[in-house]
Structures are given as C-alpha cells and as structure tokens.
Amino acid sequence: MADEAQPDGRPRQLQGKVLVLTVCAAGIGGTFQYGYNLTIINAPTLFIQTFINETWLERTGLPLEGSRITLMWSFVVSIFPLGGLAGALLAGPMAIKLGRKKSLLLNNTFVILAALLVGLSRIAKSFEMIMLSRFFAGINSGVSMNIQPMYLGESAPKKLRGAVALTSASFTALGLVMGQIVGLREILGAEENWPLLLASNAVPSLIQLLLLPWVPESPRYLLIDRGDKELCICALQKLRGSLDLNNEMKEMLAEQAAVQGKKAEGPWELFWNPAVRWQLITILVLSSAMQLCGNDSMYFYATYVFQEAGIPYDKIQYYIIGTGSCELITAITCNLIIERAGRRMLVIGGYSLMAVWAVVFMVALSLQDQYSWMPYLSMACIFAYILSFGIGPAGVTGILPTEIFDQMTRPAGYMICGSLIWTNLFLVGMAFPFIVQGLGYLCYLPFLTVCVLTALYVSFFLPETRGKSLLEISEEFNKRNFKTQTCENSWTNFEDTKSTML
C-alpha cells in the first residue's frame, strides 16, 4: 500500500526521514570534518618535518636547525587552532546574515581550498602552502563546530532536541576514528601519500554539498530572524512529517514575541547584558573546561604508555584507533540516554569520573618502573578517561548554547564558546610539554582541579534543560539573573512578573 500523501505531495514516511537526512548532511561536512582534520593533520608529522627541512635546505643552502626548527614547527602546529579561532569568530555573523544552512554550505569553500593547497604543496615545493592549508582547515572546523549544533538544535523537536544536537559529538568522534583509519600506513599513511592524506578532507565536504541542499533551513531562523512564517511552516512540515504543528508553532511564536524589536547581539554585548549573566558564566566555565580537562592530552600520552606496556611500535597505530573508538562509542551512548539522564547528570558524572581516573593515572605513572603491570593500568586509565569525557562533557557542552540562549543571543553565545575552545586548545597544546617537564608524574594535577571545579559548578548552578521549551529554559535562568528584582517586586501578580521577565 502506498504511503499516505501530504498536501505538499510528499509521502508521510518520506517526510519523517527528512530530519535524519538533515542530521547526516549537516554532520558529514560539519563536526565530522573537525574530527577528521584533527587526526589527519597530525598523522604525517615526521614526513612534513622532513619536507620542510629539505625545502629550506634547497632554497637557502643551509640546514634548518636549532631554535629555527622549534620555531618553525611550533608555527605549523599552532596555525590550525588559530584558524579554528578565526572560524569561531566568523560563525556568528555568518549564521545571522546567511542562515544556518547556507553558512554550512559556504563553509565548504575553506576546506576545498585547504585540500587544493596541501595537495599541490609537494609539487610546488612550498611548505607555506601547508601552513595556509592548515589555517583554512581550521577556519572550516571553527565555523562548523558552532553552526552545526545551532542548526540541528533549532531544527529538532523539543523531545529530541538534546539527542539530535548531540550528534555533533558523535560525528566528531566518527571523524577521529575515520582519520585514524585512513592514516594507517597500509592506506594513506605511507610517506609518498602524505599530500593525498591531507587533501582527503575534501571528500566529506563534497558529500555535504550534494546532500545539504535537499534539506530545509532552521525553522526558528526563518520565523524569528527573517519573519517568514510561511517558509517556517513549510520547513516544519518537511522536518516533522506531520501537519499537527500547533503546539510547536505556539512556542516559536511566543519566543518571537519575547524578542520582538531586538536585534542580534554581538559577543561583547553579552558581557554587559544582565539578562544573560548566568548563561554567559555557564558557557565560559564549560567551554573552557572542554579543553582544560586534559582529554586531548591523553592522546599525547597514548603512544608512550603503549610502548611501556610492551606493544611493538609498528602495532601502536592500531591501538590508537581504539582510543578514538572509545570516544565514538560513548558519544553514541550519550545520544541514546541524554533525554532520560538529562544534561546535568551526564556532565557531572563525566567530569567526576575523569577526576577519579586522573588520580589513578598519576599514581600509575609514579609506579611505572616499580611494577610490571602498571603500564597496563595506565593504558586502562587512558581508555577510561576518554570514555568518561565522551559520555557527557564532549557532547553536552556543544548543545548548551542552543538551549540556554535565545534567538538573538545564540550566535554570539556560540562565538564565545567556540573562541574559548580554540584558544584553550592552542594554550594546552603549547603548555602541556612544559607541564609534563615541570610536574612529572603529577602532570594531570591541573586537569584534575578543572574536572572537580567544573563538576561542582554544574551541581550548584546549572538548571536541567531536558524536556523544556527554549522559553521555559530562559525563565529558569531569569530567576537567577533577576533575583534581586524579583524579591523587590514580590507583590507583583505572577502573570505580570512572567511577562516582565520575558
């Protein structure tokens, strides 16, 4: 029996699948690209260093040595997060002026340009093209990490908003694993293939360019930012596969009324806006903790720990894939349980477990030479730490700006969130070798402190957002933002107070 058709001529079943297509289309060229970029740009490190040295010698007749090598390589390493920071700052204006969908489409320009530059760098004998390529890849990642969760969070129904927006973390982890697999020596990880490996990030981009035009724009953007109710309803019908949109339209119209006459705010304006004081503090804390918790540093330690455990050097690359697979498994698990467990529980649980594993890891490092089985405990801690990060902090942090900011402040909230993530990624990458050198086996003490303090902050100050409309979440934060005013005007009728706070 044929599917029952809707008035727009689309079968009901097909309409219900549009949301899934939207998630996949946004993800494959979005945070998947970030995870993939993060892995492949670090895979051929030795080959790129050799290429830079040879090119420098051919140009100048002098070998690149001493402090010049350190300075050159530090610049090559740091250019990717600097590009990510630039992308995070671009994401807000792009999301406001172009919309969420068009911004993701345009963002593919950066990664295609990056692929062309690095793919031709060996032929052109130019290591500057590699640096520029990494910068453009960083811009692409910075834009996609901000706009993808915003787009999906605004497009999903309330009961699925967390799970849909959290697919950003799943796509990031999938990108990490795919990058690790493609970077194997048997595939594209051999020395002669490094330009092709680095240029392979154009493939996800091309897939997104084929898929994304078939899905609708964010309904909230169409209604609240552009004021186009007809297009909003059309987008909702495609995404929901149902004509029963009354409740959702009422919520969106109420949100539209709440921000009537306002314009989209810039990042600096949020710092002076008392209506988003606690939302801003929450984003500052959680987005900083995202990088300062030390999860990425576990990947730094992985090779050393696996070697100490007696794993042959040529086999370590396969064990490294296991670390990325851990993050993928927990991200998918988090997707399945977030609407039951809630955001607060996952973040508190994740950081609390990371604190425990940090203590065990430091103890294992300190006893590494005394007990033969300690390297295996260190190895277990690496996997446990990454699993704990993936079960909550990795995904929930990315979706919170969608839920706790309104339509006029959300792009600026994501700009601040993304800027902090990329800045802290750069700082941790530069500082971690010195932390290891200075603290030795106690190197995870700063990360332990961050995990404990973040878990305490979330316990005391972050309200649960599960199952609530975006307007209801705003009201929750307004109770804290306007606590003094509420006490002074305690005589006011409840309905008057509610309308005043909105």
Higher pLDDT, 399 or 310: 399
Whether 484 is in a domain gets the answer no
Lowest mean pLDDT among 134-143, 188-197, 445-454: 188-197
Lowest mean pLDDT among 109-118, 152-161, 201-210: 152-161
Is 272 found in the same domain as 195? no
Whether 181 is in a domain gets the answer yes
Q: Which of left, alpha, beta for 462 (phi over 0: left; psi -120 to 50: alpha)? A: beta
Is 298 found in the same domain as 154? no
Is 344 found in the same domain as 284? yes
Lowest mean pLDDT among 75-79, 143-147, 201-205, 473-477: 75-79
Is 173 found in the same domain as 68? yes
Nearest Cα residue to 338 out of 82, 137, 164: 164
Number of domains in the chain: 2
pLDDT for 121? 93
pLDDT for 301? 67
Whether 251 is in a domain gets the answer no
Is 277 found in the same domain as 205? no
Give me 70's structure tokens.
């350190």
Whole-prediction pTM: 0.84
Residue-number span of the structural domain to which 451 is assigned = 262-468
pLDDT for 212? 95
Is 454 found in the same domain as 362? yes
> Which residue reads 């100050």 in tokens?
461
Whether 99 is in a domain gets the answer yes
Is 308 found in the same domain as 431? yes
- Whether the per-residue pLDDT at 303 is higher than 80: the answer is no
Is 204 found in the same domain as 287? no
11 pairs with which residues across the strands?
A: 5
- Give the residue-averaged pLDDT of 97-112: 95
**Alpha carbon distance, N-terminus to C-terminus of the chain:** 49
Lowest mean pLDDT among 103-112, 174-183, 391-400: 391-400
pLDDT for 66? 65
Average of per-residue pLDDT values in the chain: 84
Whether 147 is in a domain gets the answer yes
Give me 197's structure tokens.
């490996």
Give 163's contacts (C-beta < 8 A, 6+ positions apart): 156, 335, 336, 338, 339
Could you give the count of Cα atoms lying within 13 Å of 458 in the half-sphere of its Cβ? 29
- C-beta atoms surrounding 124 within 10 Å: 11
Quote the DSSP letter at residue 11: B
Nearest Cα residue to 135 out of 471, 490, 422: 422
- Whether the per-residue pLDDT at 248 is higher than 60: the answer is yes
Nearest Cα residue to 205 out of 111, 102, 138: 111
69-95 pLDDT, tens digit per residue, is 766 776 777 788 889 999 999 999 999
Is 269 found in the same domain as 180? no
Whether 306 is in a domain gets the answer yes
- Give the residue-averaged pLDDT of 331-357: 89
Whether 43 is in a domain gets the answer yes
Looking at the chain, how many residues does it have? 502
Amino acid of residue 331 = A
- Give the residue-averaged pLDDT of 151-170: 87
Q: Which of 155, 185, 215 is the last residue of a domain?
A: 215
Is 180 found in the same domain as 312? no
Amino acid of residue 278 = W
pLDDT for 309? 66
User: How far apart are the C-alpha atoms of 154 and 498, rounded to whole Å?
Assistant: 24
Is the separation of the CB atoms in 239 and 18 below 8 Å?
A: yes
Supply the CATH number for residue 84's domain: 1.20.1250.20
User: How far apart are the C-alpha atoms of 376 and 347, rounded to whole Å?
Assistant: 27
Is 274 found in the same domain as 200? no
Whether 103 is in a domain gets the answer yes
User: How far apart are the C-alpha atoms of 479 and 502, rounded to whole Å?
Assistant: 11
13-52 pLDDT, tens digit per residue, is 444 688 899 999 999 999 999 999 988 877 777 788 888 8
User: How far apart are the C-alpha atoms of 328 and 310, rounded to whole Å?
Assistant: 26
